Amino acid sequence: MIVVIGEILIDIFPDYERIGGAPFNFAYHLKKMGFPVRFFTRVGQDRHAKRILDRLRSSGFDLDDVQLDAVHPTGTVNVQLDESGVPHFDICENAAWDHLDLDACPVAADEGTEMIYFGSLVQRTESGARQVQGLLSKKDRRATAFCDINMRPPHVNSQAVAESLRQTDILKLNEDELAAIQRDHKKEGAGGAPLLWLMETFDIRAVALTQGSRGSRLYHDGGQADVPAKKAETVIDTVGAGDGFAAVLAAGYLRSLPWEKTIDLASRFASRICSIPGAVPDDVEFYDELKVVMEENRDGR
């Protein structure tokens, strides 16, 4: 079982709206790849929540894992795209997912939990950080902690980021997030191996860095892998590309694919996400080729 905790929200583009949020995107991709997933989140009691609940239900998620908030609204994000399709986010504050209650969530210590996914945006408040860190402290030692840092200034709790890194087995981040972490820890001069510094400082098993048009890089306990960026035939927007990358990275790890193959597949999938509006596809056949390749290459590490 893969346990995903965090936000689900409505991305409001100038001409359309899509369901989003990094944890939802991650959970949705893995669900469609055939993995068992439980997604713990919180929404309001409004029209956005109805749309979200309908999508989660039709996608096979257990709605008992979705908390309903009678006071706070479902999260929304206003998204503006530049001429290259790169998004700029205006994230609403004090949304329902800021009040996610994980105190009674038993799944962290469940022996059947293989992986727990979490990010930093849901920890932007002290309450959110306390909830996430409390759940991670109960984690079964055999479960892998996958952290996708999602630092969206000004919604950044630096202390929660540091605490999250200490709990992490597999980390995915981008160049801006890496630079911010180095500044917070006064390690701008970490030289040419900041990912190794991260691994050694926080005892992280593997770190994946996305570098936009310059591809991605992965450090793991057995070495390093680099792949160039995969150019999308048509770029509609880049929203959710990093979440798609993270989902395939997790899937490859769980399927015991070689790291080099995993990061290559992750890069290719992220490129394909750029060819659709929003972060997740409506067509389940979108995943067919990826599932076949993963089955052919499993148990290769």
Q: What CATH number has the domain bearing residue 82?
A: 3.40.1190.20
Q: pLDDT tens-digit profile of 76-102?
A: 999 888 877 777 888 999 999 999 999
Please, which pLDDT band fits residue 260 given cuts at 50, 70 and 90?
very high
Average pLDDT of the residues in 30-59: 96
pLDDT the model gives residue 173: 96
Q: How many domains does the chain have?
A: 1
Average pLDDT of the residues in 115-120: 97
Residue with tokens 């997740």: 280
The beta-strand segments (E) located in the chain are 2-5, 9-12, 17-20, 37-43, 66-68, 75-81, 87-91, 115-119, 144-148, 170-174, 206-210, 216-220, 223-227
Selected residue with higher pLDDT from 292 and 94: 94
**Span of 79-88, 166-175, 283-292 with lowest mean pLDDT:** 79-88
Cβ-proximal residues to 202 (8 Å cutoff; 6+ apart), any chain: 165, 166, 168
277 falls within a domain: no
Task: State whether the Cα torsion 267-262-57-108 is positive or negative.
Answer: negative
Q: What is the pTM of this model?
A: 0.93
30 falls within a domain: yes
292 falls within a domain: no
Give yes or no for residue 170 having a pLDDT over 60: yes
Q: What are φ and ψ of residue 246, in 5° steps?
A: -65, -40
**Domain range for 177:** 2-210
Name the burial class of residue 137, with classes exposed (0-12), middle (13-18) and buried (19+) by CB atoms within 10 angstroms of its CB: exposed
298 falls within a domain: no
How do strand 37-43 and strand 17-20 relate by DSSP bridges? unpaired
**How high does pLDDT run on average in the chain?**
90
DSSP structure class, residue 264 = H
51 falls within a domain: yes
How many whole angstroms separate alpha carbon 139 and alpha carbon 149? 19
pLDDT the model gives residue 191: 52
Give yes or no for residue 52 having a pLDDT over 80: yes
Please, which pLDDT band fits residue 296 given cuts at 50, 70 and 90?
confident
36 falls within a domain: yes
Length of the chain: 301
pLDDT the model gives residue 299: 63
243 falls within a domain: no
Tokens representing residue 4 in the block: 């995903």
257 falls within a domain: no
